[in-house]
Chain A
Amino acid sequence: MKRIVVFISMILVLSSCGEAPKKSNEINLYSQRHYKVDEQQYKVFEKETGIKVNVVKANADELIERLKNEGENSPADLFITVDAGKLQKAKDLDLLQKISSPIINQNVDVDLKDVNGYWIPITYRARIVVYSKDRVDISELSTYDNLTDEKWRNKVLVRSSSNAYNQALLSSIIANTGEESATKWASKLVKNFARDPKGNDRDQVKAITAGQGDLAIVNSYYIGLLLSSENEEEIKAGNSVGVFFPNQGEDESGSHINVSGIGLAKNAPNKENAIKLMEFLTSESAQKTYTDTSYEYPANPNVEPNEIVKKWGSFKKDILDLNKLGVFRNKAIEIFDKSDWK
């Protein structure tokens, strides 16, 4: 008898610690973003509107699986990722619905918008080349293709091909130049690797400072994060490299960019609140918060990038339909495997 009492009380404890999200004045997010700045934004939104923001944070692909399997019963209103390819994947699996809001439409840059209207951008970042200021002359740099030149043998640093940023970069190259030329690019670049791919983007910058290579392919905001670090050594590392935007020539595609974006879930139970949050996150004040803490570029053209980022100058973006980053994802991974990019 005693056992049964214990068991029942345990189940009660269990239920009490679950805050089942209720309808109406709430909104449920499945998010890949897990930065402090996001929490700040949601808090401000809660204060302004009284709508409570509930979040589950995990890997984008895992969240897509969860969304897919939950189907109509999914509690999720919004799906937030750091890669347009994943948004395209979600749309492809019929997990998203069209977003229509004149406010958002006005808030975000035309170049970054989803042509089909299923997701919106909140910030964007460029996949750039950084170089050792001591050992590389900036005039030697030009395009992503240039990185495969023999003069860079054993000099190029980049992270693993499991990483979504690299997958997106190669997808963009497939979309722009075709499969054959992308395959050639990848296998030639692998020959120039200074070491086996490993670590994250910041580690590639540190490896340049440590002299293990001369060039690295990284996301732009990591340089901003290094330069604003509290660790003096990291600031030094950030200062030892120069920022270069590839593919800026007249007949060239521009530097590869990708967005952090939001999709509206097909079965969103709190659709109105969801749209309100998207309107808030693309508003000028929220966009300013993003750029000043994460060093990404704002999706709202009325907001300027952070001072550190502004110093690198403006650049020509690759205005490829970002959905292509998802369309060519599998092809890109196949090419990575074939070219032995670990």
Chain B
Amino acid sequence: MEIIKKIVQIEHKRWIIGSSLIALFLLLPIIFLFSNIFEIEQSSFVYLWKNLLLDYSFNTFYLIAITSLFALLFGIFPAWYVSNYKFKFRVFFDIALFLPLAIPTYIMAFTYSDLLSYTGPLQSYLRNNYPDFSNIFNNDYLQIEILGILLGLALYPYVYTASRVSFSLIGSTYINMSKNLGLSSTKLFFKVIIPLSKPAIFSGLFLVIMEVLNEYGAVKYFGVNTYTTGIFRAWFSMGNENTAIQLACLLIFLVFIILFIEKLSHKKSKFYYSANSKIEKLSTPTSNKYLYIYSLCSLPFILGFLIPFFYILNNSILNFKNIDFSRLFELSLNSIQVSTISTVLIIITALLFLYVEKISKLKLSTFISQVTSLGYVIPGAVIGLGVILLFTKIPMLSSYSLVGSFYVLIYAYVFRFLAVGKSPIKSSLEKQPESFDDTAKTLGLGPFKILQKIHFPINRLALITAFIVTFVDLLKELPITLILRPFNFDTLATQTYEFAIEEMMVESSSYSLAIILIGSVMLVFLKYIINKQINAS
């Protein structure tokens, strides 16, 4: 009786039940997949344990470590300089440092290995002009360390953005106080700024780690066996679904540990940006410092964007007469169309979960909201297969042969990328005091009206941010598209990949260039919005 009474008393029941049902719907493929876990054959686990797990674990952790190290190096220092110092081209760097996000990791890896290979332009040039000197560069570049650096270059913008926002908001109070206490600028940075920004940096780093765990194309090419390659090997090559699912579980477990560490670091350093004023005056660096500033700001931009961009651009120009423009246009349209529709759905869903979490204040809603983010940690192809299983095995759904339709493709996208759309909205919603909702309620507004009249306008910028970040990620998406796409449907990403794995870098260039250009335009626009946010708070 008591329980029923309690349930009756819960506010916003309809919202909670509605969001729970949607969450359940989204999670179905994964529930379906993991329901098999109880049928584990012991022998497959023993086999995994004996032969592969050590190797897979070592590679996974080592690759995460190298990528993280470089993502932090490339991300944090420029973010600090741009946030704190006045120098020429500061505004330019602020935008430029963001751009490598437009280059998919697999394009970064394929481009650099082509660039550096024995028959690539660098070594050929040296061989033809400086034969004695050329041997120094004749190395095997397909190494896990090189891969780590390349992934670091492609992914550091996550760290850069997170730290950039945090550094700007930490504010002059802390900085002035520290300076009055006699801290040098180096000490200020390491003793005050970094510890205070830890949660923000970690949230950026978390995205980097997720991307590394999910990486497939580049990892395979470099011959590095991670958990994700293991999942594919077990499932596809050996036809052993159980081993694949076990590995996927391990992957999810790993992510939970990382999330747990993040929670801990959050708890330890709880402070509010808003209590401080933002940095009002940028410092003028000493002439010595200029060298650091320019080298550390330009290095990630040059390596992470300029070089691959110009290499791809050059390839497209060389191949200009062979470019099929009507196809290029068609695929661009496909990519934009499918990404836009999915992104809109993702934002609506994300907003729903977060809003219910906010108004219901139930642990359950928080849990539901978090569980739906799980899609981001599961390799795309595993989601794709879960979706196929779902839509073909449930009798009610199977008679419609939905697999191979856009509905199913977009459904899979929504589950996979919900977390990406959620994170900017979440941090924006958290910043708002409860009093807004309370006042609105006293004025007699219902939850829907509150969402429409208050949260929509207030969080407008966060919503746009979420839109762009998700859109750019979808533009680059590969594994889900490959496995679930309808007949005759190609995107820029699938076409680029098909050429690239055949080492037809020249043919792939115009398509990858289109991805980079569309992504860059969106990101420049996003940067403009983020800066507006920084300046407005």
Q: Which residues of A contact B (CB under 8 A)?
A: 10, 13-15, 17-21, 28, 34-36, 54-59, 61-62, 65-66, 69-71, 73-75, 89, 159-160, 162, 164, 167, 195-200, 202-203, 206-207, 209-212, 230-231, 233-234, 236-237, 329-330, 333-334, 337-338, 342
Contacts and interface: CB of A to CB of B under 8 A. Distances in A.
A69 B237 contact: no
A14 B388 contact: no
Contacts of A18: 405-406, 486
A59 B484 CA distance: 12
Contact of A211 (B120, B138, B398): B138
A231 B392 contact: no
A233 B388 contact: no
B138 A330 contact: no
Given A55-B487, A196-B223, A206 B118 contact: yes
A66 B220 contact: no
Contacts of A162: 220, 225, 229, 232-233, 237
B35 to A, nearest CB: 15
A60 to B, nearest CB: 8
B303 interface: no
B223 A160 contact: yes
B404 interface: yes
Contacts, number: 150
B185 interface: no
B51 interface: yes
Given A28-B487, A203-B117, A338-B51, A70 B223 contact: no
Decide if the interface of chain B is mainly helix, strand, loop or mixed. helix
Given A69-B393, A330-B239, A199 B344 contact: no
A210 B239 contact: no
Interface string B512-526: 000000000000000
Interface in B394-439: 398-399, 401, 403-407, 410
B337 interface: yes
A20 B403 CA distance: 11
Contact of B403 (A70, A199, A231, A333): A70
B221 interface: yes
A158 B230 CA distance: 20
A19 B223 contact: no
B389 interface: yes
Interface string B315-345: 0000000000000000000100110010010
14 contacts: A17-B334, A56-B488, A61-B235, A65-B236, A69-B388, A71-B392, A162-B220, A162-B237, A207-B140, A210-B123, A237-B119, A330-B239, A333-B237, A342-B55
Contacts of B486: 18-19, 56
Nearest to B482: A58
B124 interface: yes
Interface in B457-507: 482-483, 485-489, 494, 498, 501-503, 506-507
Contacts of A73: 392, 398-399, 401
Nearest to A202: B503
B56 to A, nearest CB: 11
A177 B220 CA distance: 30
A89 B235 CA distance: 13
Contact of B140 (A69, A200, A212, A237): A212
Interface of B: 47, 51-52, 55, 113, 117-120, 123-124, 138, 140, 142, 220-225, 229, 232-233, 235-239, 334, 337-338, 341, 344, 381, 384-385, 388-389, 392-393, 398-399, 401, 403-407, 410, 482-483, 485-489, 494, 498, 501-503, 506-507
Contacts of A233: 118-120, 124
Nearest to A338: B51
Task: Identify which of A19, A66, A74, A230 gathers the most chain B CB atoms within 10 Å of its CB.
Answer: A66
A17 B406 contact: yes
B238 A330 contact: yes
Contacts of A237: 118-119
Task: Identify which of A35, A57, A89 gathers the most chain B CB atoms within 10 Å of its CB.
Answer: A57
A120 B47 CA distance: 36
Contacts of B138: 210-211
Given A54-B488, A338-B51, A200 B221 contact: yes
A71 B403 CA distance: 11
Given A58-B482, A230-B506, A333-B237, A198 B221 contact: yes
Contact of A62 (B381, B399, B401): B381
Contact of A342 (B123, B225, B403): B225
A328 B337 CA distance: 44
B447 to A, nearest CB: 15
A14 B410 contact: yes
B237 A70 contact: no
Nearest to B338: A17
Contacts of A195: 140
Contact of A75 (B223, B238, B401): B401
A237 B237 CA distance: 32
A89 B119 CA distance: 38
Task: Identify which of A19, A34, A35, A62 gathers the most chain B CB atoms within 10 Å of its CB.
Answer: A62
Given A199-B222, A203-B117, 4 more contacts: A13-B337, A70-B388, A210-B123, A342-B55
Task: Identify which of B118, B119, B120, B142 gathers the most chain A CB atoms within 10 Å of its CB.
Answer: B119
Nearest to B318: A230
A10 B341 CA distance: 7
A196 B398 CA distance: 45
Nearest to A13: B341
B223 A197 contact: yes
Given A14-B406, A206-B119, A210-B138, A160 B398 contact: no
A271 to B, nearest CB: 17
Nearest to A62: B483
A198 B120 CA distance: 17
A58 B142 CA distance: 25
Nearest to A57: B498
A198 B404 contact: no
Contacts of B344: 10
**Which 5 pairs between the two chains have the least Cβ-Cβ distance?**
A198-B223, A61-B236, A233-B119, A54-B487, A69-B392
A28 B401 CA distance: 14
Contacts of B393: 69
B388 A65 contact: yes
A289 B506 CA distance: 22
A140 B109 CA distance: 37
A234 B119 contact: yes
Contacts of A160: 220, 223
A76 to B, nearest CB: 9
Task: Identify which of B47, B237, B405, B498 gathers the most chain A CB atoms within 10 Å of its CB.
Answer: B237
B238 A333 contact: yes
B326 to A, nearest CB: 14
Contacts of A234: 119
Nearest to A6: B344
A342 B233 CA distance: 12
Given A34-B498, A56-B404, A203 B482 contact: no
B223 A231 contact: no
Contacts of B221: 198-200
A231 B384 CA distance: 38
A252 to B, nearest CB: 28
A290 to B, nearest CB: 15
A200 B407 CA distance: 35
Contact of B142 (A10, A19, A199, A329): A199
Nearest to A232: B124
A66 B233 contact: no
Given A13-B341, A19-B488, A59-B236, A337 B404 contact: no
Contacts of B506: 230-231
Nearest to B223: A198
B223 A210 contact: no
